[in-house]
Amino acid sequence: MKDIKKLIASYLEFLDAHFDIESLDKYIYRVVTPFLDRRNDNIVVYVIMGDDGRITLTDDSYTLDDLETSGVSITKKREIELRKILLSYGISRNGNELFVTADHRSFAQKKHNFIQAILSINDMHLLSNEKVQSFFLDDIQSFFDEKGIIYSENISLAGKSNIVHKFDFLIPKQVTEYRKEALIKAINTPKIENTKAVLFSFEDIAKTGRTDKGFVILNDKKRVSEKIYDALESYQITPIHWSAIDSDYKKLGLAA
């Protein structure tokens, strides 16, 4: 028991010694904490002392601004995830600014919760594969909405084998130059293993005669293997690169 208490005491001593406080004016302090964000930079919190004894902690919008500038936009699904995090730690939000109000008695707990919330938000780009895929679909949907593209989402179709396949998006034939439905699968982590399953879905649907226009949107943040491109080409599936989506989406053959 004594060893545990010593460990806890040493941890608290470390925290106490590694908070760097700078006075910006009579009421505002810049606090550099020993906790690191995803860039391995120290998390900075601003403390505003009120005449009435109320204390406000704010990140001056840095946390969400940093996510957005690094390409992690706050789409609908991410907004839901963000609200869950803020609610669980009792943190408020005004635009991109995160803040919480405390008094002298609750300051330590509120400060701890505030830092934990920032750490959790920083981890939003390191979520489970299922959530990351969901966010990727959300990004694509937001792009389609922005461009005014007509589509249906989360479509289930039976193939020649009577197996039902799910496609992330379907663009109706009335709005394409091909005059055929365009089926789209999104692959957030392009690997030859998951590409094989995608190819089977397209091939099985093509055998029904419903459409032969298949597209795959690849999240090419990391290098995509040439084997994947060869496989897509052999099945006449058109790759669309997320990194070049502003121009690559024209491959869908959308009528002007």
For the chain, 256 residues long, the average pLDDT of each consecutive 10-residue run is 52 64 90 84 91 91 88 78 88 96 86 84 65 78 92 88 86 86 89 79 87 91 88 90 93 79
For helices 226-234 and 192-206, angle between their N-to-C axes, nearest 10 degrees: 10
Q: What angle do CA 142, 241, 216 make, to 5 degrees?
A: 80
Kindly state whether residues 122 and 10 are assigned to the same domain.
Answer: yes
How confident is the model at residue 5, as a pLDDT? Answer: 57
61: its two tokens: 């919008």
121 and 139 fall within a common domain: no
What is the C-alpha to C-alpha distance for residues 9 and 4, in angstroms, rounded to an integer? 9
Please tell me the predicted confidence (pLDDT) of residue 160: 85
Three-state DSSP at 221 gives coil
- 101 shares a domain with 163: no
Could you tell me if 139 and 237 lie in one domain?
Answer: yes
Residues 147 and 230 in one domain: yes
Looking at the structure, tell me whether residues 98 and 138 fall in a common domain.
no
- CATH code assigned at 111: 3.30.1460
Three-state DSSP class for residue 235: coil
Distances (CA, A) of 201 to 149, 159, 166, 189, 243: 23, 8, 8, 17, 25
Q: How many domains does the chain have?
A: 2
Q: What pLDDT was estimated at residue 147?
A: 92
Note whether 235 and 216 are same-domain residues.
yes
pLDDT of residue 126: 58
Assess whether 97 and 134 both reside in one domain: no
Residues 140 and 105 in one domain: no
pLDDT of residue 199: 85
Q: Tell me which H or E stretch contains 28.
A: strand 28-36
Alpha-carbon distances of 224 from 20, 103, 203, 217, 240, rounded to whole Å: 44, 53, 22, 12, 12
Same structural domain, 185 and 222: yes
Same domain flag for 100 and 143: no
One domain, residues 141 and 171: yes
Could you tell me the strand order of the sheet in which 164-171 lies? Answer: 152-158, 164-171, 182-187, 213-218, 237-241
| Of 62, 53, 56, 54, the residue nearest 28 (C-alpha) | 56
**Domain housing 165:** 129-252
% helix, strand, coil for the chain, step of 5: 45, 25, 30
Stated pTM of the model:
0.61
